[in-house]
Chain A
């Protein structure tokens, strides 16, 4: 049984003139980090809303942990946790109380919730903020507390909406490690992001959502491979003169001034490295570096959705 199954889900909000979701279908097997990639406003948060029972689909069906989200919302809620983009802490409670009451809502017994709270405070580096007011936490700490709170009832499926937006590089890396740690613990994660690096690094599979539809779904590597005409073989050559004429036999050649002096020559990605090196040697050029430039997920995204990515 898949952790999540979405079948032709549509959503049009009251008074809306177009579908926020226009027939979305996909499956997420257990234990996967599934990425939902898309620009702002393409329906990512709406889809999370449907799967977390907070948005009612206009048509189509969705199952979480085998349970229909519309027909059995209470049972669905007992198995999932949501880490929304904007923290939704209970501001009348401090850090530890947020954890304890959250667990109490899920029926976790008193001693067990105290033990779990101690455990997640430690795991997420929040021990010294245990009695702090939630309003005083920095963005990175707030995001960690959101994750910590989500784990207090041991969900099997975790929804994370734009996890690293607004975080500094260090907090982002730490967060990614924590999300990967959850996958190792067997938790299934559905992560939305508009950050291609995040999707590339974190997700086992990525769905690209565009105008309420899934326009591509595969591993990041497979999506990259499917994007034509991207990626390159790059040579950096120590020369004062543009070396482009020497590489004419490779077809599409692009040259530009390299950082630190010399010229960078970009050849098509399928060029044989040995042939490129031998061409440079025969021409008497001093080769400083040779590298393969991978197609980035950003290239894939632009290829599929057109140049609208913010």
Chain B
């Protein structure tokens, strides 16, 4: 009689939570929160204060910073352990032999990475309220949409991390991190909204190819009254990104886990 697969899935999640609480809280804060807090401080507070940006810039900035936090935290939460546990230390081998399908070990990694991304983004909100000159416009936030957008954005980061952690050979990962993360961060309608990019069509075209754009615009739609990409396009971009990178990452994981 095989144990129920959910027992193994939950035990794998409990293991990750246990390791997180014991050894990683400070790492997590440093990795996930330091960068967004500084972005909010420099771009949202200092630049307007010295006259280098308009005070209303914060409205454009916050959704982008939330999107970056969601995507990058989840991406690193999935990619970093996979790179070491799958390729270098083989720590994952024991978990791959637990009585659940191989793909569900990958899904568990995606779940945990998505939770990390979501927690980081939620933690940015109070920081933003303190740092930004106008605080957060609570009335403009649509809670149900924000929850959905947070989950989707974190999942996009997690599937991107699954691709990087399984498709990229371990010795190329530093190069890939360097060449992928920066364009993801800066071309994803993060520091300027997509509609504001009307003036620069080529950069707008680049942004359309970046999954982060749909997360940024989705957060914009859920947290501001300002202009954003049409809801249909946002949904299409989010679901296509999850489907494409999710399938690619799961395929890569399976190839690595089963020879």
Give A contacts to B, CB under 8 Å.
13, 46, 49, 52-56, 73-75, 77-78, 80-82, 84, 86, 88-93, 97-98, 101-102, 104-108, 149
Contacts and interface: CB of A to CB of B under 8 A. Distances in A.
26 contacts: A46-B259, A52-B97, A53-B258, A54-B96, A54-B97, A54-B257, A54-B258, A55-B258, A74-B2, A74-B99, A74-B100, A74-B101, A77-B97, A78-B2, A78-B3, A88-B93, A90-B15, A93-B15, A101-B14, A101-B15, A102-B94, A104-B7, A104-B14, A107-B4, A107-B99, A149-B94
Nearest to A101: B15
A222 to B, nearest CB: 34
**Across chains A and B, which 6 residue pairs bring their CB atoms closest together, nearest first?**
A107-B3, A105-B98, A104-B11, A88-B93, A78-B99, A107-B7
Contacts of A78: 2-3, 99
Majority SS at the chain B contact face: helix
A77 B98 contact: yes
Interface in B130-167: none
B198 interface: no
Interface in B1-19: 2-5, 7-8, 11-12, 14-15, 18-19
Interface string B163-207: 000000000000000000000000000000000000000000000
A86 B14 CA distance: 26
A49 B19 CA distance: 29
Given A77-B98, A78-B99, A101-B15, A88 B8 contact: no
Given A75-B2, A78-B3, A105 B259 contact: no
Give the one of A82, A101, A102 with max B CB within 10 A.
A101
B126 to A, nearest CB: 30
Nearest to B4: A107
Contacts of A55: 258-259
A80 B102 CA distance: 16
Give the one of A56, A81, A102 with max B CB within 10 A.
A102
Contacts of B100: 74, 105
Interface residues of B, number: 29
A88 B99 contact: no
Contacts of A93: 15, 18-19
Contacts of A88: 90-91, 93-94
A232 B2 CA distance: 53
A76 B122 CA distance: 42
A300 B45 CA distance: 81
B50 interface: no
Contacts of A106: 3, 8, 98-99
A102 B7 CA distance: 12
A80 B18 CA distance: 26
Contacts of A105: 8, 11-12, 94-95, 98-100
Contacts of A107: 3-4, 7-8, 11, 99
A105 to B, nearest CB: 4
B30 interface: no
A136 to B, nearest CB: 15
Contacts of B259: 13, 46, 49, 54-56
A250 B11 CA distance: 70
Contacts of A80: 97
A102 B90 CA distance: 15
Interface in B200-259: 257-259
B171 to A, nearest CB: 18
A46 B101 CA distance: 20
